[in-house]
Chains A and B, each alone.
Chain A
Amino acid sequence: QVTLKESGPALVKPTQILTLTCTFSGFSLSTHGMRVSWIRQPPGKALEWLARIDWDGDKFYSTSLKTRLSISKDTSKNQVVLTMTNMNPVDTATYFCARIRPQSVFFDNWGPGMLVSVSS
């Protein structure tokens, strides 16, 4: 059974760095074809894809946010970490991590999401 869960601070101040961790089970990110993404959703708004990391270490970022994002993995801990710099109130959102079905292009398993608020 595949599960994912996001963790990190619920509140950050403007200009601070946000670090979120996705801890997963039921698969290994060292297995060929495995990929994990981060997606966010501001309250009442649409989903926004942020970043992806692949089993081979390849990393991809949203064009509009790539200067502020960094994604990494710790295979031994079954974790994917997302950092976002220079946080702003408009970054207030629920942040999800999700697995991409191997050999396909859709998110087949999602974490429950974590609401991060940006406020002084």
Chain B
Amino acid sequence: NFLLTQPHSVSESPGKTVTISCTRSSGSIASSYVQWYQQRPGRSPTNVIYEDNQRPSGVPDRFSGSVDSSSNSASLTISGLKTEDEADYYCQSYESSNLWVFGGGTKLTVL
């Protein structure tokens, strides 16, 4: 299995833009879709990006996803930060469509 490595924490001010990275340890990042989940304290995760760059209905377009093969990583970008965006964010991908992997999570602080 591969690992997905995320920064432990990031912080930024309201109104600014923040990017969270997710680096795949082995195998190509482009070989399987990457998803992103937001988890607020005490709550279940909710999906904010699926299939690399798709937004579920109801997720604002301030959230965007991308994949960079040169760095073998995926990124979640949140623009126009709001205090309500403060949460833990997890990337997720899979191997052979059957073994699923989560990243270690990134705590986003909006201050």
Contact = CB atoms under 8 A, between A and B. Distances in A.
B103 A104 contact: no
A110 B44 CA distance: 7
Given A104-B50, A108-B56, A47 B44 contact: no
Contacts of A64: 1
Contacts of A101: 50
Contacts, number: 58
Q: Report the interface size class on chain A.
A: 20 to 34
Contacts of B50: 101, 104-106
Contact of B46 (A37, A46, A104, A110): A110
A76 B105 CA distance: 36
A120 interface: no
A101 B47 CA distance: 11
Contacts of B94: 105
B68 interface: no
Interface residues of B, number: 25
A80 B102 CA distance: 22
Interface string B70-102: 000000000000000000001010100111111
A105 B44 contact: no
Contacts of A104: 50-51
